[in-house]
Chains A and B, each alone.
Chain A
Amino acid sequence: MTVSLYQTGVSGLLASQQQLATTGHNIANVNTEGYNRQRADQNASVGLNNGNNYIGSGTYIQDITRLYDQFSHREQLLNQSNLGNADSLHARLTQLDQVMSTSGNAVVGSLEQFYQSLNGVADNPSDSGLRSIVLSQANVLSNNFNELTNNFDNMTTAVNGEIEQVAAKISEISVELAKINETIMHSNGSLQTGKPNDLLDKRDQLISELSEYTRVSTVEDTNSVLTVMIGQGTTLVAGITPLTLRVNSGDPDPLKTELQLVSGSSSVALNGATLGGSLAASFEFRDEHLSQARTEIDRLAMAISSTLNDSQANGLDLNGIQGANIFTDINTAQLQQGRVLAHSTNAPASTAQTQITINDVSLLPTDEFEVRFDAGVYTLYNLTTGANENLGAPGSGTPAGTHTPTSPDYGFSFVETGVPVAGDTFTVIPTKNSAALMKATLTDGSAIAASSAIGVTPSSNNVSDGKVEIINVIDPVAAQAFATPPTNIGILVDVYESAPGTFSYRIYDADPASPPPTPPSVVGAIASGTFPIGSNAVIGLPTATPAFEIEISGQPSGQGALAPEKFVIDDAFGPGNSGNAVAMAKTQEQGVTNGGNETFNKSIAVTTSVVGSKASNANLSADTAQALFTQAYNRNQATSGVNLDEEAANLLKYQQAYQAASQIISTANTIFDTILSAVR
């Protein structure tokens, strides 16, 4: 009986020791990340049959379990992924918002200065100082666009770098997990019944870390080996076999890097945007938000360049030459070819050369396009709206090889030469590189086309409210030549109401030496015609290859056939002529982008607002995700977290138990001594 008392005492001691050890372990690990508190389960030993009774024989530690609620842990994982996603997106969008606000404001400021200097030239066109100021402002404007694009590029590089780092981290975690799985499996395979709690904790901690980067789900098998899946169910760790992630440059745009899941020597592409966590946020930011902002800025740069270049071409510079481009032409060969990216999967035998020509910036959308060659025709796919249009066979269209979509008309043409192979795919980004390659190309202030080429002077004898206006100048030098000797000494337009409700017009050389015949004769007229009341007449002159167009509108009734309303069009070129400069300055208030609805300032304000609103939403999402995560974390910690006060109390408890158990031994000893002394 005493023997068993010893044993009981010892068992109590040992049990208390293990309890104390476990409590000590908990206390030591109070600040360990991902530590689940452990508890030693004490069980009473089986009683020994003493004939009539069962006498208990002490206690033993059944198992040291960790308090782990897999359901709350899973909830914590899910919320961690969401938090990782929301935080990452919030941080990046805030950065983009700040870039847009500072660099975007710089663009607005320099645009304002540019137009201010243009107005200066409109007031005093012969001043060379004012003209140089216009050019230096143009330089500042294009530099600002280049800067903004640089900022976007830097952000892309940063995001790509982060994706690479995260992929490397995930691969590391994967390898670690596989090793732990192996160790756990071996420890399970042996005859030990206890669980390797700390290894399990380590494994769970790694999975927690993983969940910040991507969405994680796990499946545990009978050997406690965990299969880990990321994203929508892609296996990352298959038991003891790790798979790794690798980053490849994108196709066709190398800067749109892609993820690949590598297993041994084979690899499979992974769609980063569906992975969840901060990885998905990085992809979403790079491929959606940043690229949208970049496309809009590129389109704005293109709109500014083409509007001002066109305006320049309408007038004459200080030397009487047609105005040259003030900014880089939007259809240079480099820009045109840069807008189409051929996929690397295209057959090497394909000799197709492709480019995009922009026809009308106001119709240009910010959608993404793809052109595929299949079944003998090129088809244009709008990846944003899902629409497609058959462009025709290679070499078709006018001029040959030019395919212009018409339903709807996007404002660009797809130009190709060469022989494609079925399956060839091309990514089309019509606005690519416009802001990066925008430069002010004029260097001499006198090359600013401030002067208009021709002007209309109504006769002082006109009595009705009709007018003749020059609505379109295609070639100002030719227009000027047409209105000056030797071709014509001015151009005379006379209009009168030949029949009630019908106006007849004639266009003659305004040479005073050879006046036109009495109406209605049109002998020797350059052009003639009629138009009904309420509409107007548009005439291109010279009639064969128009260099400009005039519009006769209003009600030019005149006073009969002998006294029609007369208008003379002649050369208006002069150093003091600022007609074209005024027209150029007016483009500041003209709607150009988005179907002609947005001025330049409005366009950039819209882009900045959209980014700001996205950033603000991301902020809200991040706050919500943080709150949700905190709740899940709290719930998890309620079960698994170490509370120092509780452990302190436990220390006392087990200390007392130990002391009491040792007292049993000493009592057993005393009993034995008593028996021994009794039989001496």
Chain B
Amino acid sequence: MRVSTAQFYFQNAQQLSAKQSDVNEQIQYLSSGKRVLTAKDDAVSFGTLAGYKDELSNIAKYQRNINQAENRNGLQETSFANAEDIMQELKQLFIQANNGSLNDSDLDALAELAKNSQEQLLGIANIKDETGGFIFSGFQTQTTPFNLQADGSVIYQGDSGVREIQIGKSVMVATNQAGDAAFEKVSNDIGDFTPSYNANTSGISVNRAVVANPSTHDVLGNPPDYNFTFTSATDLTVTDGNGAVVFNTVAYTPGQTIAFNGVEVQLDGNPLPGDDFDLTPQEEVSIFDTIKNAIDWLQVGSSPANQVQHAVDYNQILGQLDQALNHMTGNRVDAGVRLSLVDVQANNHADSELTITSGHSNIEDLDFAKAVANFEQSQVSLQAAQQSFVQIKNLSLFNYL
């Protein structure tokens, strides 16, 4: 086919320009190290890459949240470990107090120590974290949770809020424990009721009082408080809040289970006529109330008015201190459980991150060996085109005329 001069130059110019832009493209890839620079390079891969990037940023988000969750729960765990120690000391102290040879000043000294323990525990309960907010105040982080009153009682002014953050696609973890759940909701050692003794000459005490059968426990029909009166050692009458008799026996044996209105009560000791006490519903006892009771007990001194009742109270308080100690341990375990959940999630995320990062890099990263080979090839191609052009342009009949 006939080739015109213009065509020859046109084609060569085309080739040169095409090869140059090829080389340029290869340089761009090499210098960025990426195979996919814009969506035009590979639209399908670009979409996949965007998905990978999304996943990776989600995982980074979860990891940040995990850090926070670890910090916060770690602080709680330490706090409760300290609280445990304090309660342990207090319990030892209280056990010490059950020594008949102690006199008033000894008991006073013990009471002072107990007050110290109370202050320390209060300090822990009112602890602040690095943000300046109280960690045991629920959602009311700017309000001091526990306030000591003049009479030694402690009032909770926070709320029950529990903050959660997201550490996985559908996994939330709590980052605080509300002060009421942590310090106020200690299970009642006796069960669901607290006894208050009106007259106790025999040293009788309530061992257990629970709502055994909630489906038959009618609080509207037979409202508490339930009053237990022994008219004789074997004659027991129980009346409800309205005065109606809910239980009556004339053959009371010590240690028997008294069941009425879905409630089961068990007493310790041999009753004497005139023994009278009330059962008030209380499922939980605040730890600070328990401590206050302990301090009050110690401050009564070595010669209380009713020795028998004093002993009964001692047992009740000691049991409750035990419950309080267990509760602190329980709180610490809660924090620990969350930490291990966070740990598991962290591991999961680390694994996913590895997989996704390598998938991402497979698609986006340049295979340098191939790219350099391509670049060399383009270069050689360009050189060949340039040199052949130079050679051929010299061929003209005019050179020989």
A residues sitting closer than 8 Å to B (CB atoms) are 30-31, 37, 93-94, 97-98, 100-101, 108, 112, 115-116, 119, 122-127, 451, 455, 457, 460-461, 515, 517-518, 559-563, 572-579, 582, 585-586, 588-589, 599, 601-602, 604-606, 608-613, 615-616, 619, 626, 630, 633-634, 637-645, 648-649, 651-652
Judged by DSSP, the binding face of B is loop
Interface of chain B residues 153 through 178 with chain A (CB within 8 A): 159-161, 163-166, 169, 172, 175-176
Are A576 and B46 in contact (CB-based, < 8 A)? no
Q: Can you list 22 contacts pairing A with B, beta carbon distance less than 8 Å?
A: A37-B4, A93-B40, A515-B219, A559-B214, A560-B215, A563-B215, A575-B133, A576-B163, A578-B165, A579-B164, A602-B51, A602-B54, A605-B46, A605-B50, A609-B46, A612-B43, A613-B43, A634-B1, A641-B3, A641-B5, A645-B396, A648-B398
Whole-angstrom distance between the Cβ of B394 and the nearest chain A Cβ: 12
Q: Is the CB of A601 within 8 A of B50?
A: yes
- Among residues of A, the one whose C-beta sits closest to the C-beta of B220 is A518
User: How far apart are B307's CB and chain A's nearest CB, in angstroms?
Assistant: 37
Q: In the complex, what residues of B have CB within 8 A of residue A97's CB?
A: 38-40
Task: Tell me the complex Cα distance, A122–B167, Å.
Answer: 12
Residue B103 lies at the interface, judged by CB distance under 8 Å to chain A: no
Chain B interface size, under 10 / 10 to 19 / 20 to 34 / 35 or more: 35 or more
Contact B7 A609 (CB under 8 A): no
In the complex, which residues 1-29 of chain B have their Cβ closer than 8 Å to any Cβ of chain A?
1-7, 10-11, 14
State how many angstroms separate the Cβ of A123 from the closest Cβ of chain B. 5
Q: Is the CB of B214 within 8 A of A608?
A: no
CA distance in complex: A101, B11 (Å) = 34
A31 touches B40 (CB 8 A): no
A71 to chain B, nearest CB (A): 16
Contact flag A589-B38 (CB < 8 Å), given A574-B139, A605-B51, A637-B4? no
Q: How far is the CB of B382 from chain A (nearest CB, A)?
A: 18
B41 at the interface (CB under 8 A from A): yes
Q: Is the CB of B139 within 8 A of A573?
A: yes
Which of A98, A562, A639, A640 has the largest number of chain B CB atoms within 10 A? A562
Q: Is the CB of A126 within 8 A of B43?
A: no
B54 and A599: CB pair below 8 A?
Answer: yes
Chain B nearest CB from A107 CB (Å) reads 12
B99-130 contacts to A, CB under 8 A, are none
Chain A residues with CB under 8 Å of B142's CB are 126, 575-576
Apart from A563-B215, A609-B46, A641-B6, list 7 A-B contacts with CB within 8 A: A30-B5, A100-B39, A108-B50, A518-B221, A560-B215, A613-B39, A616-B43
Q: Kindly state the separation between the CA atoms of A563 and B40 in the bound complex, as whole angstroms.
A: 66
- Contact: A574 with B43, CB < 8 Å? no
CB contacts (< 8 Å) of A644 on chain B: these are 5, 396-398
Residues of B near A119 (CB, < 8 A) are: 61, 64-65, 165-166
Q: Does B138 contact A (CB under 8 A)?
A: yes
Q: How far is the CB of B4 from chain A (nearest CB, A)?
A: 2
Say whether, besides A563-B215, A630-B14, A644-B396, A638 and B39 are in contact (CB < 8 Å).
no
Q: Which residues from 49 to 96 on chain B have a C-beta closer than 8 Å to any C-beta of chain A?
A: 50-51, 53-54, 57-58, 61, 64-65, 68
Does B303 sit at the interface, judged by CB under 8 A?
no
Given A577-B161, A605-B47, A644-B397, A559-B169 contact (CB < 8 Å): no
Indicate whether A642 sits within 8 Å of B220 (C-beta atoms), given known contacts A126-B142, A575-B140.
no
Query: In whole angstroms, what is the CA distance A457 to B57 when docked?
Result: 34
Check if A572 sits within 8 Å of B159, measured CB to CB.
Answer: yes
The CA-CA distance from A85 to B374 in the complex, in Å, is 30
Closest to A563 in B: B214
Could you tell me the distance between the alpha carbons of A582 and B164 in the complex, rounded to whole angstroms? 8
Inter-chain contact A576/B396, CB cutoff 8 Å? no
User: For the complex, what is the distance from the CA of A451 to the CA of B140, rounded to whole Å?
Assistant: 11
Which residues in A have their C-beta under 8 angstroms from that of B398?
Answer: 644, 648
Instruction: Please name all residues of chain A whose beta carbon is closer than 8 Å to the beta carbon of B58 when the two chains form the complex.
Output: 588-589
Inter-chain contacts of A641 with B (CB < 8 A): 2-7
Report yes or no: A115 in contact with B61, Cβ–Cβ below 8 A: yes
Docked-complex contact B139 and A576, CB < 8 angstroms: yes
Which residues of the partner chain A approach B163 to less than 8 Å between Cβ atoms? 123, 125, 576-579
Q: Which residue of B lies closest to A517 (CB)?
A: B220
Question: In chain B, what residue has the closest Cβ to A605?
Answer: B50
Instruction: Report how far A576 CA is from B179 CA in the complex, Å.
Output: 13
Chain A residue at minimum C-beta to C-beta distance from B4: A641
Contact indicator B396/A585 (Cβ below 8 Å): no
Q: Measured between C-beta atoms, what is the minimum distance from B149 to chain A in Å? A: 22
CB within 8 Å for A609 and B396 given contacts A575-B141, A586-B166, A589-B169: no
User: Which single residue of chain A is at the shortest CB-CB distance from B142?
Assistant: A575
Interface positions of B from 163 to 206, Cβ below 8 Å from A: 163-166, 169, 172, 175-176, 185
From residue A500, how far is it (CB to closest CB) to chain B in Å?
A: 15
Residues from chain A with a CB closer than 8 A to the CB of B218 are 518, 562
- Asked if A123 and B165 make an inter-chain contact with CB atoms under 8 angstroms apart, the answer reads yes
A343, chain B: closest CB distance, angstroms: 36
Q: Which residues of A contact B215 (CB under 8 A)?
A: 559-563
9 shortest A-B CB distances, which residue pairs? A641-B4, A612-B39, A574-B139, A560-B215, A605-B50, A563-B214, A613-B43, A576-B141, A648-B397
B176 partner residues in chain A, CB cutoff 8 A: 576
Q: A615 and B39: CB pair below 8 A? A: yes
State A340–B185 Cα separation when bound (angstroms).
62
The reply to whether A609 and B131 form a contact with Cβ atoms under 8 Å apart is no
Pairwise interchain contact A572-B161, C-beta atoms closer than 8 A: yes
Q: A119-B165, A518-B221, A605-B47 in contact; A574/B138 too (CB < 8 A)?
A: yes
Query: How far is the CB of A509 from the nearest CB of chain B, in Å?
Result: 16
Partner of B214, one of A94, A127, A461, A645: A461
Q: How far is the CB of B241 from chain A (nearest CB, A)?
A: 13
Task: Note all chain B residues with C-beta closer than 8 A to A585.
Answer: 166
Contact A609 B5 (CB under 8 A): no
A457 CB contacts on chain B under 8 angstroms: 160
- The residue that B2 contacts in the complex, of A602, A616, A643, with Cβ under 8 A, is A643
CB distance from A105 to the nearest CB of B (A): 10
User: With a CB–CB cut-off of 8 A, which chain A residues contact B40?
Assistant: 93-94, 97, 612, 615-616, 619
- B4: chain A residues at CB < 8 Å are 37, 637-638, 640-643
B50 pairs with A608, CB closer than 8 A: yes
Q: Give which listed residue, A572, A605, A630, A649, contacts B139 with CB less than 8 A.
A: A572
Closest to A652 in B: B401
Do A575 and B7 contact each other (CB < 8 Å), given the known contacts A98-B38, A630-B14, A648-B398? no
CA distance in complex: A616, B47 (Å): 14
Beyond A515-B220, A582-B166, A630-B14, whether A612 also contacts B46 by CB under 8 A is yes
Residues of B contacting A560 in the complex (Cβ-Cβ under 8 angstroms): 214-216
Bound: A30/B64 CA distance, A: 72
- Contact assessment for A574 and B159 in the assembled complex, using a CB-CB cutoff below 8 Å: yes
Enumerate chain B residues within 8 angstroms of A637, measured Cβ to Cβ. Answer: 3-4, 6-7
B44 within 8 A of A: yes
Q: Are A126 and B133 in contact (CB under 8 A)?
A: yes
Say yes or no: is B217 at the interface (Cβ < 8 Å to chain A).
yes
Any chain A CB within 8 A of the CB of B239? no
How far is it, in angstroms, between the C-alpha of A547 and the C-alpha of B10 when the chains are bound? 76
Q: How far is the CB of B327 from chain A (nearest CB, A)?
A: 13
Contacts of A586 in B (CB 8 A): 166
B129–chain A nearest beta-carbon distance, Å: 9
